[in-house]
Amino acid sequence: MLIHVVKPGESLWRIAAYYRVPIVQIINVNKLPNPGQLVVGEALVIPTADVFHTVRAGETLWQIAKRYGISLQTLLLTNNIQNPNLVYPGTVLVVSRKQKPVIEVNGYIYYFGEQAVPIVREDGKHLTYLSPFAYGIREDGSLEQIDDSPAISAAYAAKVVPMMSITNFTSSELGRNLAHIVLGTPEIRERLLTNIISVMKEKGYRGVNIDFENVLPADHELYNQFLRRAVDRLHPEGFFVSTALAPKTSAGQPGSLYEAHDYPAHGRRLKHLVSRRHCFEQ
């Protein structure tokens, strides 16, 4: 166990990502009534077997590495340190990874209302996240509503993190033109994000999963801009952001599910979760 004291500007998703611990574990161990509202100075128990070291004044990374019997290169790589000169007193370093890699599982559920409850009760033990699929976006930035409250309540009862899912495709069209209108119009993008935040607060979602498919290749950078803006607006509210992607074997892989999706940019910007929904559909 490790104790983390919440600092100004920190959110639960950022703390969980830093320590590589599922958010749901931190919520459960600390019995947090409202995970989206952390209090500065609050002490959180982090359920991890890793070993950490807090840098003290006058210490060098070489001295720290020698103390724990590891190479300087291992210390740099483990903590993703690009410039050793930018490590200051108070920095918390990982000096030993003892636990197995965390595997997080998201389950999309296509049943709404009370029909979803027995499914979540039965399968919740296998999940980290639950995503009722899905809120459809509209050209004006509004959202098509779904009856997801019973599924969300069942998710909390099963200690599963509810994750809102939004999508651009419908039963009648692939959504490429709809995505083009929304991504290419700043005021619509902002309205969409405002509506997403409103639903998440009202329903009790902890994060959002963005499933934009068949986006036009020409809208590649617009999609990246939208994701950056989503992170900038949702993270300060305590919500995490994830995307749904199809399996991709190369950067230049052709196809409507791949060409507009910048996979490295998703990973760099979101730093939390990438959901590969299509792995199970194709």
**Assigned token pair, 124:** 């919740």
Marked catalytic residue, from 114, 122, 139, 213: 213
The verdict on whether 213 is a catalytic residue reads: yes
Cα(95)–Cα(76) distance, integer angstroms: 10
DSSP helix/strand/coil, 208? strand
Cα(279)–Cα(214) distance, integer angstroms: 16
Cα(170)–Cα(136) distance, integer angstroms: 7
Smallest CA-to-CA distance from 233 within 178, 179, 194 is with 194
Cα(195)–Cα(143) distance, integer angstroms: 7
Residue 137 carries which DSSP code?
A: B
Cα(103)–Cα(105) distance, integer angstroms: 7
Q: Which residues pair with 43 in a beta bridge?
A: 5
Residues that are catalytic: 213
